[in-house]
Amino acid sequence: HINKVRSQAYLGDLQALNPFTQVARETPSILEDNSTIKKADMVIVCGEYNLEYIKSINRKCRDARRGFVLINSLGFYGHISVSYTHLT
């Protein structure tokens, strides 16, 4: 895991938790395209603190009826926000 960003280092570990799911790491700019969000069941955003960007991605996920999870860590403090409104 040396010389890798966190999302690259743990990608295989996340995939191993459930071999029936596909786990992919995307660049933030790819989330600007609605078709990318529609291909996913869930979008997980980590380490993002721009509130307007977060609200934009959350809105796109809701419009596409996809789950949205925001995870941030600030040293000893962190938070997780989960949005799964009306996905069925």
pLDDT tens, residue by residue, 5-63: 766 777 788 888 888 888 888 777 777 888 888 888 889 888 888 999 999 999 999 99
Q: Is the overall model pTM greater than 0.85, yes or no? A: no
Pairwise CA distance, residues 70 & 88, whole Å: 21
Instruction: Report in angstroms the alpha-carbon separations of 80 from 39, 52, 58, 77.
Output: 23, 17, 14, 11
Please tell me the chain's helix, strand, coil percentages from 3-state DSSP, rounded to the nearest 5.
Answer: 40, 25, 40
